[in-house]
Amino acid sequence: MKTVVCPFCGFGCRLLVDEKSMRVKPYPGEPNREKLCPKGLYSLEFVRSPGRLKRPLKRVGSAMVPISWGVAIEEIANRLLEIRELYGPDAVAFLSSSKVSNEENYLLQKIARLFGTNNIDNCARLCHEASVHALKLTVGTGAQTNPYEDIERFNAVLIWGYNPAETHPVVMDYILRAKRRGAKIIVVDVRETRTMAFADYKLVIKPGTDIVLANAIAHVIIKEGLYNEEFIRMRTSGFSEVRMGVTKYTPEYAEGVTGVPAETIREVARAFALAGSGAIMWGMGLTQHVSGVENVLAVINLALLLGYIGERGGLYPMRGQNNVQGAAYMGALSEFLPGYVPLTDERFRKRVADVWGVEDIPTDRGLYLTELWEAIEEGDVKALYIVGENPAVSEANFDHVRKALRKLDLLVVQDIFMTRTARYAHYILPASAFCEKAGSYMNSERRIQWSHKVCEPYADSRPDWEILAMLGRALGLPGFTYASVEEITAEYFRLFPELEERDVEELKNGDGIFLPRKRLHTWEFATPDGKARFMAVERISPWEEPNGEFPLVLTTVRLISHYNTGEMTRRSPSLVKLMGEPRALMSKRDAERLGIRDGDWVEIETRRGRIRMRAKVEKVQEGLVVVPFHFKANKLTSPALNKAGTPAFKFSACRVKRVKT
């Protein structure tokens, strides 16, 4: 049996795989403790799909024709160098993947920066980059602060804009262990989720009112003297700003805005404060708004008020993809070097340059993923190299993205399937699946785990790291003579003081290595003065409000048997059996008003376009339409960005009408 890291969510389950039968069993150690969700259990099925890419392809007219690896890499490198010569290095952009290993993300951002540009980004921009920005502003480190194991010993768990029962089923084991010990479970969301079935307090709020509710809870904690005065005095700054800022956010005011009864707000504030320890867990229900950064700041303030940091609490931005944390930590973000270190940090930049054998690397921030499409439209970006991402489906307002993809002089897609994005490519490079290669991955809790190679690559596919090493050599970049993936691991270890004395073989044994350590901020924060910073925030209105023409609010959600754009899960026969038909959820009152019955076909329209699917009349609040994002919903979603560059996927004004099939 060999251990591999599950290729789906960011929880980081490990799988035991029998090399002969290719059957999967759950790993007995951390973090999944002999638990798996359906996606993990059937994770090897898509690897055998007949839809796998078999060999490199090149566009000739309207056809894609097979070519050799040598010709493909040489031609791609020559085109990239030509474009750099004509337009400069910033005319080229690279998209990394939250599904490939640390080593592969590390190599792609290394290629980009040695090529001369910081136009390197990944889909972290679409989910938790707002969390990264807020965490760096307040506690100094843009990542989850505590391991999962801490959840079960805390006395309260506040779950906000996040539905772990559906999106991270295995983490529910930790939450339920806490509940069995007597912990209070508090869930805040815009609809009654599966997770709410286990909650002591269920707070269903109106979309876009998270800041008002968080500030009202803070108001009660401060007014009733429930805050941790010693912690605030010794370990924080900015408390007076928040104390003044939340004065007007009384529970009665919040009730009028959020829909949550004032007395419930008081009960929740007291229960959370008097628990003595607590976790705050959140997802994209908080981050994917124009107020995403401020939403996260507002809930971080609650943790700082109560001292729920380190041993007494933790901040848990729960990641959606198996290596989105690793991709970001490896430097696949346009404003950060590895370790979330800003490009402007001369000392660390010199450390990176020394390891890479160059004098310096670019310092100007590159394009965010969400800024890229306009830059292509305007002619500023001519070439795009994509590894393992499908922006033609995953991006907000994706018709705009597809238009931009058609305009590129060069589009290279490196993937395992002919995705919707790959259809626009000039070159397609077949990559190997997760179990066909070795490498390391980092889960949400910053645990680096080794994933072993179980079987040989499919057809003429190759591991992403081998493809990128070939590209680096063809571009004439220094330091791309890697003979094994372990050499790349050892190189990125050298960048981090916490890892430079560790051995790669150590990573292959045991339950992984935490970077920088298992539990952050126990004694001091990673800020210049060592103190956490309170940040007062005010309510921010959505980019577009419902009106007479578009009277409803559209929000998007994940489903338990689906994953992202569905390229992997829809090729798993066992998961397809579990999926069922996607439905648009709406309230009984809205359905009656619009003459819609359960199961009717409906057309959902926003200012960006329209889609059709069946309706499901369910217990959701009036005025809300809930659609799974795995299919075509992002044709409709708002392109408005928050301060971190994340689109407002969770709030779009829409209208719905019944249609005949």
Residue where a domain stops, chosen among 258, 293, 318 = 318
Residue where a domain stops, chosen among 300, 318, 336 = 318
d(CA 386, CA 397): 19
Same domain assignment for residues 312 and 173: yes
- 375-402, pLDDT tens digit by residue? 999 999 999 999 999 999 999 999 999 9
State the DSSP code for 338.
G
Same domain assignment for residues 456 and 378: yes
pLDDT at 302 over 80: yes
Q: What share of the chain has pLDDT > 70, as a percent?
A: 100
Would you state the structure tokens that stand for residue 613, as one six-digit string?
A: 């699917």
pLDDT at 661 over 80: no
CATH number of residue 430's parent domain? 3.40.50.740
Average pLDDT of the segment spanning 340-345: 94
Instruction: Output the pLDDT for position 419.
Output: 97
Contact of 417 with 53, CB cutoff 8 Å: yes
pLDDT at 427 over 90: yes
d(CA 638, CA 468): 34
324 φ, ψ (degrees, to nearest 5): -65, -35
> 346: buried, middle or exposed (CB in 10 Å: 19+, 13-18, 0-12)?
exposed
The DSSP result for 181-236, as a single string, is TT-EEEEEESB--SGGGG-SEEEE--TT-HHHHHHHHHHHHHHTT-S-HHHHHHHE
Largest Cα–Cα separation, the chain: 71
In 3D, which of 296, 280, 286, 283 has the Cα closest to residue 134?
Answer: 296
CATH number of residue 591's parent domain? 2.40.40.20
Instruction: Output the pLDDT for position 579.
Output: 86
d(CA 577, CA 580): 7
CATH number of residue 264's parent domain? 3.40.228.10
For residue 524, being part of any structural domain is answered with no
Same domain assignment for residues 193 and 116: no
SS3 538: coil
- 206-257, pLDDT tens digit by residue? 999 999 999 999 999 999 999 999 999 999 999 999 999 999 999 999 999 9
Tokens 């804009």 sit on residue: 161
Angle 541-545-547 from CA coordinates, rounded to 5°:
150
Same domain assignment for residues 306 and 160: yes
For residue 106, being part of any structural domain is answered with yes
Rounded (10°) angle between helices 251-258 and 210-223: 160
State the DSSP code for 417.
B
pLDDT at 580 over 90: no
> What is the number of residues in the chain?
661
Same domain assignment for residues 306 and 339: no
Average pLDDT of the segment spanning 394-411: 96
Total domains in the fold of the chain: 3
d(CA 116, CA 113): 5
SS3 45: coil
Same domain assignment for residues 290 and 427: no
For residue 515, being part of any structural domain is answered with no
Instruction: Output the pLDDT for position 115.
Output: 98
Q: What share of the chain has pLDDT > 90, as a percent?
A: 97
216 φ, ψ (degrees, to nearest 5): -70, -40
d(CA 194, CA 199): 10
For residue 542, being part of any structural domain is answered with no
Instruction: Output the pLDDT for position 268.
Output: 98
Q: With the CA atoms of 560, 561, 562 and 567 taken in that order, what torsion angle do they form, in degrees rounded to the nearest 10?
A: 160
Tokens 């943790």 sit on residue: 303
Average pLDDT of the segment spanning 559-586: 91
Same domain assignment for residues 170 and 313: yes
For residue 412, being part of any structural domain is answered with yes
Q: Which of 62-71, 502-511, 540-549, 583-592 has the lowest mean pLDDT?
A: 502-511
d(CA 431, CA 387): 9
Average pLDDT of the segment spanning 151-173: 97
Four-residue CA torsion sign, 253, 254, 259, 262: negative
Same domain assignment for residues 364 and 217: no
For residue 199, being part of any structural domain is answered with yes
SS3 611: strand
d(CA 278, CA 521): 15
SS3 462: strand
The DSSP result for 259-327, as a single string, is ---HHHHHHHHHHHHHTS-EEEEE-HHHHSSTTHHHHHHHHHHHHHHHT-SGGGEEEEE--SSTTHHHH
Q: How confident is the model at residue 487 (pLDDT cuts 50, 70, 90)?
A: very high
In 3D, which of 579, 429, 333, 613 has the Cα closest to residue 53?
Answer: 429
Name the residue range of residue 640's domain: 552-658
State the DSSP code for 641.
B
Instruction: Output the pLDDT for position 247.
Output: 98
Instruction: Output the pLDDT for position 638.
Output: 92
Same domain assignment for residues 326 and 410: yes
pLDDT at 522 over 80: yes
d(CA 647, CA 288): 6
Same domain assignment for residues 456 and 391: yes
Q: How confident is the model at residue 72 (pLDDT cuts 50, 70, 90)?
A: very high
Same domain assignment for residues 254 and 330: no
Pairing relationship of beta strands 447-451 and 439-442 according to DSSP bridges:
antiparallel
> 82: buried, middle or exposed (CB in 10 Å: 19+, 13-18, 0-12)?
middle
Sheet (strand 201-204) strand order = 201-204, 184-189, 156-160, 278-282, 313-317
Instruction: Output the pLDDT for position 563.
Output: 87
For residue 541, being part of any structural domain is answered with no
d(CA 72, CA 92): 18
In 3D, which of 236, 242, 322 has the Cα closest to residue 37?
Answer: 322
Average pLDDT of the segment spanning 533-549: 97
Same domain assignment for residues 368 and 470: yes
Residue where a domain stops, chosen among 303, 318, 333 = 318
Mean pLDDT of the chain: 97
pLDDT at 45 over 90: yes
Instruction: Output the pLDDT for position 388.
Output: 97
pLDDT at 65 over 80: yes
pLDDT at 449 over 80: yes
Q: Which residues fall within 8 angstroms of residue 515, CB to CB, at 6 or more apart?
A: 329, 442, 446, 448, 496, 498, 499
Angle 487-489-492 from CA coordinates, rounded to 5°:
110
For residue 14, being part of any structural domain is answered with no
Q: How confident is the model at residue 631 (pLDDT cuts 50, 70, 90)?
A: confident
Average pLDDT of the segment spanning 429-452: 98
Instruction: Output the pLDDT for position 298.
Output: 98
